[in-house]
Amino acid sequence: MTDGDGSQFAAYDAVVYDLDGTLIELAVDWDAVADAVLDVYAERALIPPTEELWGLLGAADEYGIRPEVEEAIALHERPGARESTRLPLGDRLAAATADDESADPHPPAGVCSLNCEDACRIAVETHGLGDALVSGAIVGRDTVGSHKPDPASLLAAINRLGEAPEDTLFVGDSQSDAVTAERGGVDFAWVSELLAE
């Protein structure tokens, strides 16, 4: 994906991308999402263990409100995916898979995201990345019952690509992405490093 030489991915049989902050930027006010989730707790007279969004999601199973919390988050993510912006790495991915016979082929690619699968699929469709990604390998936080930094979602995306963790590169923008890759035995690249090459 750099100047058509494909060298960044030459050592890998597959690539898995984080979505938000890596390929696209969701148009979501995450503070408003946290408030919506706090409302879910309040409506049930539950004392939230934290005010931090992902901590609230993590505790939702213990409180027996996981579906309600998931939906409160997804209600913001779906429209945020429709109104999202494609980022430079998303532009490069789209260009690498365009009808250009002179470009080196990009390895099969998937997504492992902390966003819900629905929002991931909406964003992929909105930004014309469907040809660049294997549809069955788009994995959100609600796809396999656990989410980053637990590596299960990343390993599920890799499995759906038909590849092995040691032959796959995970590309992301957060410490959580890096930890997920380490826990899954998968090589990791920061999106900023790829864009700098």
| Beta-carbon count within 10 A of 112 CB | 34
pLDDT at position 17: 98
Query: What residue type is assigned to position 68 of the chain?
Result: E
What percentage of the chain reaches a pLDDT higher than 90?
Answer: 84
Greatest CA separation for the chain:
61
User: Which helix (H) or strand (E) covers residue 14, if one does?
Assistant: strand 14-17
Per residue in 83-103, pLDDT (tens digit) is 999 999 999 999 887 655 545
pLDDT at position 3: 38
Distance, CA of 75 to CA of 98 (rounded, Å): 32
Residue 10 has pLDDT above 50, yes or no: yes
Given a contact cutoff of 8 angstroms between Cβ atoms, the answer to whether 109 and 93 are in contact is yes
Per residue in 20-49, pLDDT (tens digit) is 999 999 999 999 999 999 999 999 999 999
Nearest to 14 by CA among 112, 125, 120, 99: 112
Average pLDDT of the residues in 173-179: 96
Distance, CA of 197 to CA of 175 (rounded, Å): 21
- Indicate the pairing of strand 109-112 with strand 14-17: parallel
pLDDT at position 4: 40
3-state secondary structure 44-61: CCCCCCCCCHHHHHHHHH
pLDDT at position 126: 96
Average pLDDT of the residues in 63-85: 97
Its sign, for the CA torsion 159, 164, 165, 169, is: negative
**Mean model confidence pLDDT for the chain:** 92
Residue 7 has pLDDT above 90, yes or no: no
